[in-house]
Amino acid sequence: MSNGAVIIPTLRYRDANQAIEWLCRAFGFEKQLVVPGDDDTIAHAQLRFGNSMIMLGTVRDDAFGKLQSTPEKAGGVGTQSVYIIVKDADAHHDRAMKAGARVVYPLTDEDYGGRGYSCLDPEGHLWNFGTYDPWK
């Protein structure tokens, strides 16, 4: 990172508590920080994956909430997705499948290198995992 920049994707979930547990179980994220909100919501959460992170929270009708939605509210599609480098795409795929991930792009060896797959989490966010490392 020549300029010191770090990119951290952010997501909103109807049930952020359930999403956190599922993301940890299915994809191998680890809780770094979970800040509870009112009425069993999550004001803010940080989940680590290796040296990377995502942040998430419960959908709210606030200023930020008017700028970011869920796939459900966007007609069942997302407007962005996350690509995460994993050491073993097959093992990661098996873990995600056991947790109920819905694979939408099967495990594939890519022409440009690497092996990966894409799946949806229970609230419809698109996740991409693979061994292709664009930094190498």
Count of domains in the chain? Answer: 1
- Is residue 2 in some structural domain? no
Is the pLDDT score of 17 beyond 90?
yes
Is the pLDDT score of 40 beyond 80?
yes
State the CATH number of the domain containing residue 63: 3.10.180.10
- Is residue 21 in some structural domain? yes
Is the pLDDT score of 4 beyond 80?
no
Q: Are 1 and 51 in contact (CB under 8 A)?
A: no
Is the pLDDT score of 30 beyond 60?
yes
Q: Are 135 and 83 in contact (CB under 8 A)?
A: no
pLDDT of residue 44: 97
Q: Tokens for 63?
A: 């200023």
- Is residue 3 in some structural domain? no
- Is residue 71 in some structural domain? yes
- Is residue 14 in some structural domain? yes
- Is residue 107 in some structural domain? yes
* Percentage with pLDDT > 70 across the chain: 99
pLDDT of residue 19: 98
Is the pLDDT score of 1 beyond 70?
no
Q: Which domain holds residue 26?
A: 10-130
- Is residue 83 in some structural domain? yes
CA dihedral sign of residues 106, 76, 97, 10: positive
pLDDT of residue 69: 84
User: Average pLDDT for residues 89-115, to the nearest whole number?
Assistant: 97
Is the pLDDT score of 7 beyond 80?
yes
- Is residue 125 in some structural domain? yes
* Residue 121: Cβ-neighbour burial (10 angstroms; 0-12, 13-18, 19+): buried
pLDDT confidence bin for 23, thresholds 50/70/90: very high
Mean pLDDT across the chain: 94
